């Protein structure tokens, strides 16, 4: 079953999850200065990502550069992976 077939409501029901929200969850963290490279990359990439309007393009052109920047700023303390197939049991809905 593709992840795009899941809905939040179905996952909450099937896994008996409760969703809770909290305001200002990042308030205790100081903002990080982004690199010139990331500023340039986003200035160039965002219009293309939004014009193509697909999840894949947004991920590749917007999210990935941000995550790579964060990984670099945090001295490789964060692991990223892409293209790893997650198989789920379709009999579980």
Closest to 35 (Cα-Cα) out of 77, 63, 65, 80: 65
∠ CA 55-5-58, nearest 5°, is 5
Distances (CA, A) of 3 to 7, 24, 42, 56, 87: 9, 29, 27, 13, 9
- The predicted pLDDT at position 28 comes to 92
∠ CA 36-81-56, nearest 5°, is 75
Task: Give the start-to-end residue ranges of the domains of the chain.
Answer: 34-79
pLDDT per residue of the chain (93 residues) written in tens, 0 to 9: 566 777 889 889 888 999 988 899 889 989 889 999 999 999 999 999 999 989 899 999 999 999 999 999 888 888 887 777 766 676 765
């Amino acid at each position: 079953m593709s992840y795009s077939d899941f809905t939040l409501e179905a996952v909450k029901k099937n896994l008996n999850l409760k969703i809770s929200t909290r305001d200002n969850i990042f308030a205790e963290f100081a903002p990080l200065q982004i690199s010139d490279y990331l500023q340039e990359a986003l200035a160039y990439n965002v219009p293309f990502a939004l014009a193509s309007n697909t999840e894949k393009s947004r991920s590749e052109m917007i999210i990935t550069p941000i995550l790579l920047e964060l990984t670099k700023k945090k001295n490789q303390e964060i692991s990223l992976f892409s293209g790893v197939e997650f198989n789920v049991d379709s009999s579980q809905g």
